[in-house]
Structure 1
Amino acid sequence: DSNEQIPNDVRVIPGQQQPPSYPNGWIPILESRKLKRNELKSLLCFGRELVIVRVPSDQVYIFDAYCPHLGANLAIGGTIEQRHISCRNDNDNHQKIDCIVCPFHSWAFRVSDGNCVDVPYEDNVPNTKLKMWKCLEMNGIIFVWYHNDNSMVEPEWKPEKIAEIITGKWRYYGRTEHYTNCHIQEIPENGADVAHLNQIHSTSVIGSSNRKDRQRWLNRLVKHEWTAQWNPCPAPNQHISRVEMISITRIFGFKIIELRFIIRQIGPAYVEIHLKSDFFTGIEGVALQLVKPIRPMRNSIIHNFYFNHSIFSFIFSKIFMFSVDKMLIRDIEIWNRKAFLQRPFVGKSEKSLVKFRRWFKQFYSNDDNTNHGHVKHCDW
């Protein structure tokens, strides 16, 4: 909408370099439960229309959405079919293969490589194909590989399995979804900005998210205290950063709940927020943060919540999801109206911010054309 675009046009400060719009790495693009077998979906990511499909074998594939014939959107009316290929001089001759079929003229493209394998009204199949994107499925999430230099650049790392999710030890309890108008780097940078925690997130989540209202009696009654430390991980896990964080909730000054977090940022857009508490009978679990760059200065932020099985976990999960929702809204209020400063003036106690920016720089290409008019390279 128009309100979404207004702030974006004025938040570039002359002389300040803007990072590239899209970082390189495995980007969470869709939750697995959102894609059924034999289903196609349209996705907008990196400012591009994509089509994602799941074939009967349960394998997932991602392609550019537009048919190379006349540009029809394969996700709108397209189908997944097993075509009997009888007019091909290749190894699939006379076999049924899984194809994505265009709704316009029924051109069929083999899902395993994107090649056009059948045109119903032609004896000779044209030598064309769909652009195919590397993808993988892990922890109930579908990831797509993005690299500005070359989409064929092989990944040097990938997200790791969370055993408790794979085995079912931790159960899925729900999700939150938000959208923000900011540079994608602002979102993970929040984890290294330790000072903001007790400035933005100290007042009660059941009070107002409006800063002007945070000194009212309810917000003075309930307080959250935060301590945190951010660090990058050494090789071979240099694509991971780690935050150790403790949150204490006090009512009338008395400690009620203590939560201990280990937060692992894996690549530029995927975060595992592991937590433990002795609250009730002992609760443990993880919140998976999925950041998808829809287009420049527009991102979705999804959290999936998994906890151990118990009635206490069910109650806690609802409280925790509510808290994450309210706390994230406070951050979004800032992000949606702030400018990205290439060289901010940071205090002596804010060295983690400088360390974060140097760490995050690994996810940008030196020659990047995705920042839409801003400079191509940033150096902190």
Structure 2
Amino acid sequence: MDADLPELCTRSRATDGQTPDLPYPSGWFCLAHSRELARGSVLTRQLAGEDVVLYRTGDGQSYAVHPYCPHLGAHLGVGGTIEGQNLVCPFHRFAFAPDGSCVGTPKGPHPRARLKHRTVRERNGFVIVWYGHDDTPPAWEIPDTSPPEVTVTATWATDVHAHVQELAENGLDYRHLPAVHHVDVRQLVPPQAQGPYLRSHLRLGPNRPTALKKIRYDVSFLLAGLGYVRAEIPVPPLGCILHLWAVHAPTGPRLTRLLLGVACTDIQRTRPAGRTPLLRPVHRALARAVLWTAVSKAKDDVRIWNAKRYEPRPRLAAGDEAIGFYRHWARQFYPTP
């Protein structure tokens, strides 16, 4: 069985000159945790080979702009400040309003100038920015599948030498789970696609040691584009639901920033008044423990990703049908050839 995306590939600048690369996909990509972006702060992040400046105004709203001041090109993420609702350039202190327009200078009238904005959403404690080819506006939204009050409490991030599509593909590569992570997997429902969203439902459990083999968890996965993966795992014996995120951002050619996040919530949302706050320290501790386990598994993947290459025509075998399904679904996020 072959899965083929040859029309999307470009030649890599790798030394052998033979490794095919994929272009940057469009979609929503996480650039920061919400708690990193405090009121009045300015951050610089990489997205698709370019700097993006994130900032939060005094009223708590987050924004993302292209990095250079239209006056004389100063980098707004290097010394830029927030004054009330405005982003102020470090070079000549031109002030820019939330709509991007220049609204003030230290002296004299301000010019007709405007910052170029990127669309921002905040979901469950993540700052997520839209990347569109030729700066096209968002074509779809990150779904509000997790309750808005569920906020990531434990996170871990690393840089990976792989294309962002390969990281998201990992969730559909069932064969690697027992081979790399010692996890048994059973597909409960085949992957289902609806536009930019892909859902799957698996039953997972350890395949060793023998004493743990009876432990099984049903996991619901949601992919929203190639940069957002969310898993939800009910754990009835502990009375909680685990929420796991793997949010990826392409930072450069074959470079991806991987961020893992975990939250834990009460499985019964109608607990008696006063009981839920008492559970929060337990939930935070459990989230940290689950993150530690997820990171140990992710490090095994990162070691492989950092050394592998992308195969545009993989020779898939029986049991790899989900990978072929995923690759055909992923085509929609690339420019039409």
Establish whether TM, by shorter chain, passes 0.5.
yes
Shift of 1:320: 1.7
Q: Is the alpha carbon distance of 1:73 and 1:154 closer, same or farther for their aligned partners in structure 2, counting shifts above 3 Å?
A: closer
Q: Percent identity?
A: 26
Trace 1:71-220 onto structure 2 (pairs within 5 A): 71-82=73-84, 98-112=85-99, 114-123=100-109, 125-148=110-133, 150-151=134-135, 153-164=136-147, 166-167=148-149, 170=150, 172-202=152-182
Mapped partners of 1:188, 1:198: distance in 2: 18
Counterpart contact for 2:188–2:202, Cα < 8 Å: yes
RMSD over aligned CA atoms reads: 2.3
The residue aligned with 2:246 is 289
CA deviation map 1:191-218 (0-9, x unaligned): 111111111111xxxxxxxxxxxxxxxx
Larger Rg: 1
Of 65, 69, 72, the match for 1:70: 72
Q: Is the alpha carbon distance of 1:11 and 1:346 closer, same or farther for their aligned partners in structure 2, counting shifts above 3 Å?
A: farther
Mapped partners of 1:247, 1:172: distance in 2: 22
Q: Is the alpha carbon distance of 1:230 and 1:13 closer, same or farther for their aligned partners in structure 2, counting shifts above 3 Å?
A: farther
Mapped partners of 1:262, 1:339: distance in 2: 29
Mapped partners of 1:11, 1:259: distance in 2: 44
Of 43, 46, 63, the match for 1:44: 46
Counterpart contact for 2:125–2:152, Cα < 8 Å: no
Of 297, 300, 304, the match for 2:261: 304
Counterpart contact for 2:242–2:287, Cα < 8 Å: no
Deviates more, 1:192-201 or 1:154-163: 154-163
SS in 1 for 2:215: strand
SS in 2 for 1:185: helix
Of 202, 225, 230, the match for 2:184: 225
The residue aligned with 2:59 is 57
The residue aligned with 1:334 is 304
Unaligned 5+ residue runs, structure 1? Answer: 1-7, 83-97, 203-223, 367-376
CA deviation map 1:335-364 (0-9, x unaligned): 111111111111132122111111001111
TM norm structure 1 = 0.76
The residue aligned with 1:210 is none
Shift of 1:230: 7.3
Unaligned 5+ residue runs, structure 2? Answer: 1-11, 267-278
The residue aligned with 2:321 is 351
Mapped partners of 2:162, 2:319: distance in 1: 25
The residue aligned with 1:208 is none
Across the two proteins, how many residue pairs are aligned to each other? 312
Q: Is the alpha carbon distance of 1:67 and 1:284 closer, same or farther for their aligned partners in structure 2, counting shifts above 3 Å?
A: same
Mapped partners of 1:341, 1:362: distance in 2: 18
Mapped partners of 1:182, 1:11: distance in 2: 16
Shift of 1:226: 2.3
Deviates more, 1:345-354 or 1:310-319: 310-319
1:100 partner letter: L
Q: Is the alpha carbon distance of 1:226 and 1:110 closer, same or farther for their aligned partners in structure 2, counting shifts above 3 Å?
A: same
Shift of 1:183: 1.1
Of 274, 291, 294, the match for 2:232: 274
The residue aligned with 2:218 is 260
The residue aligned with 2:275 is none
Counterpart contact for 2:235–2:242, Cα < 8 Å: no
1:60 partner letter: S
1:327 partner letter: K
Shift of 1:128: 2.2
Shift of 1:188: 0.7
CA deviation map 1:89-115 (0-9, x unaligned): xxxxxxxxx321111111122222x12
Counterpart contact for 1:233–1:239, Cα < 8 Å: no
SS in 2 for 1:37: coil
User: In the alignment, does 2:36 pair up with 1:34?
Assistant: yes
Mapped partners of 2:129, 2:153: distance in 1: 25
CA deviation map 1:52-72 (0-9, x unaligned): 111112111111111122221
2:112 partner letter: N
Mapped partners of 1:320, 1:228: distance in 2: 22
Mapped partners of 2:258, 2:217: distance in 1: 22
CA deviation map 1:261-298 (0-9, x unaligned): 1110111101111112244x333121122111111211
The residue aligned with 1:19 is 22
Q: Is the alpha carbon distance of 1:24 and 1:51 closer, same or farther for their aligned partners in structure 2, counting shifts above 3 Å?
A: same
Mapped partners of 1:137, 1:26: distance in 2: 11
Shift of 1:172: 4.3
SS in 2 for 1:143: strand
Q: Is the alpha carbon distance of 1:271 and 1:120 closer, same or farther for their aligned partners in structure 2, counting shifts above 3 Å?
A: same
Mapped partners of 1:74, 1:364: distance in 2: 30
1:190 partner letter: N
Counterpart contact for 1:231–1:241, Cα < 8 Å: no
1:130 partner letter: L
Mapped partners of 1:134, 1:359: distance in 2: 24
